[in-house]
Structure 1
Amino acid sequence: MFKKKSLLLLIFVSLFMFLVACGGDDDASSGTDNGSDSSSDDSGSEDMSNDPITYHYFVGASGDDIHTNETTIGGMLEDETGVNFQMEYLVGDLMEKLGVMVAGGQYPDVVVPDHGIEMMMDAEAFIPLNDLLEEHGQNILAMYSDYLDRITMPDGNIYYLPFGPTINEYVPNPNIDQGAFWIQRGVLKDAGFPEINTLDEYLALIKDYADENPEIDGMNTVPFTGLTYDTSFFTFSNTPNHLAGYPNDGSVQIDMDTHEASVYADSDATKAYLKALNELNNDGYLDQEMFVMNNDDFLAKISSGRVLGFFGYGWQWGTARTSLEEAGNPDQEFMALPVVLEEGIKDQYLDPPSFTQNRGAGITVSAENPERIIQYWDELIQEDMQKLVMWGEEGVHYSVDEDGRFYRTAEQVELSADQDVRKDLGMTVFEWNWPRLNGSFSDGNAVESRRQPEVAKETYRDSDREYLEAYNIDTFSGLFSQPEERPWYPAWSANVEQGSDVALFATRAEELQKRYYPQIVLSDPASFDAEWDKFVNEYRSLDVDTYEEFFTNTVEARLDGDWQYR
């Protein structure tokens, strides 16, 4: 049984908002049923009421508030179930928002708490779903069948549904949506499309181009920048891990032979990367705003067309990518490169098949008639609905060839990329933060249209094909090594107990990295080693052994089939 933790700290954090929280939200009250009495004593009956009812659905991430029945898909689901959801997305700090909920004991009916899931679990804010799934969620159980052991807690209950269980066959992404060193395409063209493997080669190419082009479109050229702001700091601190040939397992690297976990914050790879940036800074090639700009500033800078290179995850800068495409200069768009520290290191940027079980949607103790939420989810998870969410309408947003393969014409690619079209249909609402699938449908087509090779190739313009042909690849992921099998992946999804020694180490280690890394990078080169040594000494004064032992045990447990190691 989950242990109920003391809420004193949460109350302290949110004390000034406590009275408001206790009062609840009249506009988003649990199970608002628009004048009809939807309460039922026989919630397990097969003829469940379809009377109209609106639930409050909170997502701990940014988005546009909306009612699901304002979309085509949401309207269809409401016709089938009588259920509508008032969607509320995060504004402000997530942990503070969740702390207010917990302190007041008042919750939206459904909460997607992102990395705050442990806070919700510790507060016993979610109800067990086992019986509800058995009675009303057979489609959910079928789709999640291979993962039920991973989402069943030590007390035998399922409290939330993660997103994206892989069904049938895993389909890799033809394009790069995860980590990479990005480079402005024109830099590659200017140099004759060279093969770039190492960090030294990558940075040398950028410096040469910057020397020849100190300005771009009348603005000062930014040779290299990065994303370091607030919760995005992991983007910067993760980079040495990728340079060393590891995928994103979090703050640890897992030895492929021994399966032992080791931190890399003070590794030789990290020192080498910070040293390279220190030299860039000393020579005038590093963005002077790299450690002070926020996420919006970063996106605006990338969109400007004057940045030559950066490390980042593809999903982090999609709006900037769109802006560059719309600007009409393909050579100012970016191409992903699998850069490593030195020759002989095999890149592992591409994610292996994975299932992140410590994120998901839970039904809270405030929800009335929770069976109706399960009924809705059970309709949504079916293949025909998932095809509508991920692909749109057949004949409108995609076509089917004589072999049953889904594809898109040029017109359908353009239509499906229209954000207003996607929003009206319901794609933007339902494609994440709900029970949903990954992998492939029973007919062999990819669940996500972006992973279908036929679709990816149709989205390529002549300017894209120029670079694909220059590097003799069919898709942009063709430069990257295939991922090695890691059955535990990703290690960072382990359930770390709030307030534990492991959690305490993670917090203090990040604080040290945020304080020292910029200081090390921006220091006088003569002081680099001294600054680095100060960081290492403080970092090693923390309980590194306990942290590494926890993740080693997590990996071993997962290899043994136990995905709820705590």
Structure 2
Amino acid sequence: MAGKWLKRIMIPLSVVSLATATACGGSSDPTQTETSDVSTPITISFFGSDASPTWNNMKDDVGQAITKATNVTINAEYDVSGGGTQKIALMTASGEYPDTIFPKGSITKLVEAGALIDLTDLINKYGPNIKKVYGNDLSRLQYSKDDPSIYVIPTNAGVGEAKFDAGGGFELQHQVMKELGYPKIKTVKDFENVLKEYKEKHPTINGQPTIPLTLNADDWKIMITVTNPAFLATGAPDDGEFYINPETYEAQLHYKRPEEKEYFRWLNHMYNEGLLDPETFTQKNDQYLSKIASGRVLGLIDQDWDYQQAENSLKTSGMSERTYGHYPLQLDDSTKDRSFQDIGPPVGYGIGITTSAKDPIRIIKFLDWMASDEAQVLNNWGIEGKHYEVKDGKRVIPADVQERKINDNTNFTKESGIGMYNFSVHYGDSVKDSTGNYYTTNFPEQILASYSQPEKDALKAYGATTWKDLFPAKDEFPVKAWGAAYNLPSPDDPSYNVAYQKSQDIVRKRIPEAILAKPDQFDSIYDQMVSELSTDEMKKMEASYSQLIKDTVELWGTNKK
């Protein structure tokens, strides 16, 4: 623990030395001295752990407007796959970092390496917009109970967000549901029956063999489409690799839940019935997307952001009927999908400033501007007069722009830059600005305007206005006291990461093995996995994570008081 506190003491000193080098005055305190003129052009380097296929080097409309307003240019590098883990490992080994970084789940590695500066003082002095957006919950950004530093500004989720639509669950093509008379589906067995019936009627689509169901198991995305659905389809919330007892806060690897074993048994059944793509565990991400874009994949179990590129291709090709609706299916009717359970103010995944940055003050000023109303409207809506108009005080997207957003989204995003610049804390869906307009374009009227006709027909058949209407509402569940556990930093325990990686290696080997096995071999393979995940080493890891959850609940409860 002493090492962590030593890092906390030393990191601001490195900021001081860097700030002094660029200071106009003689003070060595970066929170007391203006170190740069915002009218001077500057390039800020950035690494993002997620892929960004539409990044256009700020040559887009929004990017150019940002540079014009701030004199800042972002020199960005995005990971293609792997969630940034390999790239960040190389960074920590070399000690060389970009000015800013979105480390995703690797924040602990950067903190342990002393690579991130504490943003607390910088935000207090130069972050009025950041503080305005986060309000009284700013203390939630503290790294841990033992280290109250703020290392990242959350960017993934919006503050105050109440989503109006669903983007996950089980997906089925609109054409499939239409042809089968929009059948009632509530369980995975219903899902299976729909896929089987349609495939028997249509063994080929567009001249190629029909694929009832395919999953994306390429690298870390195996969690999104293969393993995470096991807890979502059995009534548990998303807490990453763990299931957390809501009463005791004790954590265990979620694969140990008997319900999840039965979910994976169902996937094994789907494979042996010829309904699950046999290439699921060998195909790469681009192959997965290519199959979807061909229109011959009937069903998915995914999040729309993962396959959106392929769905955009379907729309561009005039195959909107082959795009997908979202259904909150469960293993059986005894549980509910908890996708919309309230996690409280968002914390975790976000952007940090590294010790390599020569001008942290200029960077925090930029990040603060990105949290301003002006920047949030720009990022979400685009350029007034080009991407939206103001009529009777309301922002409105013209029909031709809306048509491109629906049917040519990839090219439109590259050209416009809309939605590409979430470089700071921001408000979420459902929050309105001082003019009475929503900050984002994801509100009921706009969502309805973005739906294709096949999508509208499917929703009407199910008596819904948006896909979220089919899902259990957040008021059906209690607010999670620990937020979203997958957003929390790893426990401060050297043995934790070793054991965690071992658990990942075990799961990523055994789960595919169990799914692709003959039915009579499933139990022995799955039980062997559970045994391998139940060693003393694994139990110690779970205990460390349990303590992290308990400390987080205590920290947030104390700060709230």
Q: Structure 1: how far apart are the matches of 2:81 and 2:461?
A: 45
SS at match of 1:111: strand
Q: Of 351, 370, 394, which residue of structure 2 is paired with 1:361?
A: 351
SS at match of 2:533: helix
- Pair 1:310 & 2:300 matched: yes
Q: Of 8, 22, 25, which residue of structure 2 is paired with 1:41?
A: 25
Larger deviation, residues 58-67 vs 532-541: 58-67
SS at match of 2:502: helix
- Pair 1:453 & 2:447 matched: no
Larger deviation, residues 462-471 vs 76-85: 76-85
Amino acid paired to 1:493 = N
Cα shift at 1:316 = 0.8
Cα shift at 1:514 = 1.4
Counting matched residue pairs gives 529
Cα shift at 1:48 = 4.6
Q: Structure 2: how far apart are the matches of 1:100 and 1:523?
A: 37
Q: Of 196, 200, 219, which residue of structure 2 is paired with 1:207?
A: 196
Q: Structure 1: how far apart are the matches of 2:380 and 2:23?
A: 34
- Pair 1:148 & 2:132 matched: no
Cα shift at 1:45 = 4.9
Amino acid paired to 1:201 = D
Shift in alpha-carbon separation, 1:45–1:426, aligned structure 2, 3 A: farther
Q: Structure 2: how far apart are the matches of 1:156 and 1:532?
A: 41
Q: Of 230, 234, 249, which residue of structure 1 is paired with 2:223?
A: 234
Which deviations, in whole Å up to 9, do the C-alpha atoms of 1:505-546 show, x marking residues without a partner? 322222111111122122222222222222222222254443
2:540 match? 546
- Pair 1:160 & 2:152 matched: yes
SS at match of 2:240: coil
Q: Structure 2: how far apart are the matches of 1:242 and 1:514?
A: 18
2:418 match? 427
Q: Structure 2: how far apart are the matches of 1:118 and 1:558?
A: 15
Cα shift at 1:2 = 7.2
Amino acid paired to 1:480 = F
Structure 1-normalised TM-score? 0.85
Cα shift at 1:79 = 4.3
| Identity %, equivalent residues | 27
Q: Of 312, 320, 323, which residue of structure 2 is paired with 1:322?
A: 312
Q: Structure 1: how far apart are the matches of 2:158 and 2:43?
A: 30
Cα shift at 1:145 = 2.7
Which deviations, in whole Å up to 9, do the C-alpha atoms of 1:30-69 show, x marking residues without a partner? x9xxxxx96533664569523222222222232366554x
Cα shift at 1:353 = 4.5
SS at match of 2:350: coil
Which deviations, in whole Å up to 9, do the C-alpha atoms of 1:469-494 show, x marking residues without a partner? 11111112211111223242211222
Extract unaligned runs of 5+ from structure 1.
7-30, 32-36
The 5 Å alignment of 1:383-394 reads 383-394=373-384
Q: Of 43, 47, 60, which residue of structure 2 is paired with 1:58?
A: 47
1:121 match? 111
- Pair 1:3 & 2:3 matched: yes
Contact preservation (8 Å) 2:265, 2:522: yes
Cα shift at 1:270 = 2.1
2:289 match? 299
Q: Structure 1: how far apart are the matches of 2:473 and 2:332?
A: 18
Q: Of 486, 492, 496, which residue of structure 1 is paired with 2:486?
A: 492
Amino acid paired to 2:200 = D
Which deviations, in whole Å up to 9, do the C-alpha atoms of 1:91-141 show, x marking residues without a partner? 576333223322332222212222221111111112222332233222222
Amino acid paired to 1:447 = Y
Extract unaligned runs of 5+ from structure 2.
7-17
2:12 match? none
Which deviations, in whole Å up to 9, do the C-alpha atoms of 1:166-191 show, x marking residues without a partner? 44x433132x22x3111122222222
Which deviations, in whole Å up to 9, do the C-alpha atoms of 1:169-228 show, x marking residues without a partner? 433132x22x31111222222221111001111112211221222222221111222111
Q: Structure 2: how far apart are the matches of 1:314 and 1:347?
A: 17
Shift in alpha-carbon separation, 1:272–1:463, aligned structure 2, 3 A: same
The 5 Å alignment of 1:260-409 reads 260-350=250-340, 352-400=342-390, 402=392, 404-409=393-398
Q: Structure 2: how far apart are the matches of 1:517 and 1:337?
A: 24
Q: Structure 2: how far apart are the matches of 1:209 and 1:292?
A: 25
Amino acid paired to 1:211 = E
Amino acid paired to 1:200 = K
Cα shift at 1:416 = 4.8
The 5 Å alignment of 1:529-540 reads 529-540=523-534
Q: Structure 2: how far apart are the matches of 1:95 and 1:564?
A: 33
Q: Structure 1: how far apart are the matches of 2:57 and 2:161?
A: 32
Q: Structure 2: how far apart are the matches of 1:427 and 1:291?
A: 34
Q: Structure 2: how far apart are the matches of 1:204 and 1:91?
A: 36
1:171 match? 162
Amino acid paired to 2:487 = S
SS at match of 2:292: helix
When the two chains are superposed, the root-mean-square deviation of aligned CA atoms in Å is 3.0
Contact preservation (8 Å) 1:81, 1:372: no
Cα shift at 1:433 = 4.1
The 5 Å alignment of 1:4-23 reads none
- Pair 1:468 & 2:459 matched: yes
Contact preservation (8 Å) 1:250, 1:492: yes
Shift in alpha-carbon separation, 1:563–1:212, aligned structure 2, 3 A: farther
Q: Of 387, 396, 399, which residue of structure 2 is paired with 1:410?
A: 399
Q: Structure 2: how far apart are the matches of 1:437 and 1:163?
A: 10
Shift in alpha-carbon separation, 1:121–1:204, aligned structure 2, 3 A: same
Cα shift at 1:241 = 0.3
Larger deviation, residues 535-544 vs 198-207: 535-544
Q: Structure 2: how far apart are the matches of 1:214 and 1:286?
A: 14
Contact preservation (8 Å) 1:358, 1:495: yes
Q: Structure 1: how far apart are the matches of 2:495 and 2:306?
A: 30
Q: Structure 1: how far apart are the matches of 2:451 and 2:56?
A: 33
Q: Of 90, 110, 121, which residue of structure 2 is paired with 1:100?
A: 90
Contact preservation (8 Å) 1:491, 1:551: no
Structure 2-normalised TM-score? 0.86
Contact preservation (8 Å) 2:244, 2:252: yes
Q: Structure 2: how far apart are the matches of 1:393 and 1:66?
A: 17
- Pair 1:479 & 2:479 matched: no
Shift in alpha-carbon separation, 1:85–1:190, aligned structure 2, 3 A: closer
SS at match of 2:556: coil
Which deviations, in whole Å up to 9, do the C-alpha atoms of 1:288-345 show, x marking residues without a partner? 1011111111111111211121211121111111112222233322111111011132
Contact preservation (8 Å) 1:119, 1:498: no
SS at match of 1:226: coil
Q: Of 195, 220, 233, which residue of structure 1 is paired with 2:184?
A: 195
2:11 match? none
- Pair 1:525 & 2:516 matched: no
Cα shift at 1:420 = 4.6
Which deviations, in whole Å up to 9, do the C-alpha atoms of 1:356-381 show, x marking residues without a partner? 53322222222222211112122221
Q: Structure 2: how far apart are the matches of 1:350 and 1:109?
A: 35
Which deviations, in whole Å up to 9, do the C-alpha atoms of 1:371-425 show, x marking residues without a partner? 11112122221112211111123343234454x5544342231355654554444
